[in-house]
């Protein structure tokens, strides 16, 4: 099994005629992703790699059963595209764009909650269930070089660093169940606390690696789930960014969520809470594979 995505998942690609979408559509389909249709306003009736293009999401779901919508749409257009998918009650909507205005994201979060839709992103790189399917840019053109099917879940604020974790594990022959890039924006649809219970219920996942960052309270929420014994599988955590704590208050570098303010978002505090809850906390990135191997033993 896997969480959120497998080879049976029926995927709708929004913005399918764009350059990025065309590129990654090829990679996704080659890897096994079951793309059923695409949407591009003004391009209805065309085909991309044999995939039919519709004017609207409503038109696509009238003809196809869709489990996941993935958005190759710029930040300025992400709100309207995602709202179309949410209004059509597609169960999972993945927003890849960065630069989505916060007030747009707030609206998407509200509407997704109201409609019972799971939202991943914005600023998500995508996700992969190794050996089954992938969404977005995760793994690039050769995901098999970075990801290997196996028992380790990965959930990361950073798309690039999540891929590095997969690659480091794969080099040691340690495979992964599902990797999800949740996005580094201040507001995101699915935080660690939303996804860890899915890994907990997945019999293929034996442990989870969490890559955290400064800012927000997402890692603290994950620690609370562990403390409450709602997450019992081993969790290996790495939280970057301690250097930011030495900067003047209110300054940040990196993702838009990385501001440390009013005692919230401190990497030192995050690591302390995770460790006290029972997670294995890596002090260096290179410690992650060995800690994972330790949990699997």
Q: In angstroms, rounded to a whole number, what is the distance separating the alpha carbons of residues 110 and 114? A: 6
Across the beta sheet with 126-129, what order do the strands follow?
133-136, 126-129, 176-181, 149-156, 207-212, 235-239, 280-281
C-alpha to C-alpha distances, 49 to 34, 59, 98, nearest whole angstrom = 13, 19, 26
Tokens, residue 141:
């053109």
Assess whether 255 carries a catalytic annotation. yes
> How, if at all, do strands 126-129 and 118-120 pair?
unpaired
DSSP 95: E
**Given 103, 206, 218, 255, the catalytic residue:** 255
Q: In angstroms, rounded to a whole number, what is the distance separating the alpha carbons of residues 70 and 119? A: 10
Centre a 10 Å sphere on the Cβ of residue 115 and count the other Cβ atoms it contains. 17
Just list the catalytic residues. 255
């Amino acid at each position: 099994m896997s969480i959120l995505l497998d080879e049976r998942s029926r995927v709708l690609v929004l913005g399918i005629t764009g350059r990025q979408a065309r590129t990654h559509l090829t990679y996704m389909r080659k890897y096994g992703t079951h793309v059923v249709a695409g949407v591009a306003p003004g391009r209805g009736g065309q085909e991309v790699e044999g995939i039919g293009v519709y004017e609207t999401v409503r038109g696509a779901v009238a003809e196809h059963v869709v489990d996941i919508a993935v958005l190759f749409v710029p930040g300025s257009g992400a709100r309207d595209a995602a709202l179309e998918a949410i209004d059509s009650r597609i169960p999972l909507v993945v927003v890849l764009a960065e630069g989505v205005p916060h007030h747009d994201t707030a609206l998407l979060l509200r509407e997704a909650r109201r409609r019972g839709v799971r939202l991943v992103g914005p600023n998500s790189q995508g996700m992969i269930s190794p050996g089954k399917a992938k969404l977005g840019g995760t793994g690039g053109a050769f995901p098999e070089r970075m990801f290997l099917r196996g028992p380790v879940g990965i959930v990361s604020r950073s798309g690039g660093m999540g891929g590095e974790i997969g690659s480091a594990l794969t080099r040691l022959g340690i495979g992964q169940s599902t990797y999800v890039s949740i996005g580094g924006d201040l507001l995101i649809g699915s935080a660690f606390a939303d996804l860890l219970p899915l890994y907990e219920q997945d019999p293929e996942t034996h442990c989870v690696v969490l890559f955290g960052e400064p800012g927000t309270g997402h890692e603290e929420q994950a620690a609370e789930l562990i403390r409450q014994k709602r997450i019992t599988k081993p969790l290996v955590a790495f939280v970057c960014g301690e250097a930011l704590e030495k900067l003047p208050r209110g300054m940040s570098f990196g993702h838009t969520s990385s501001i440390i303010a009013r005692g919230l978002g401190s990497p030192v505090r995050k690591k302390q809470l995770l460790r006290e809850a029972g997670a294995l906390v890596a002090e260096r990135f290179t410690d992650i594979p060995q800690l994972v191997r330790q949990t699997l033993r």
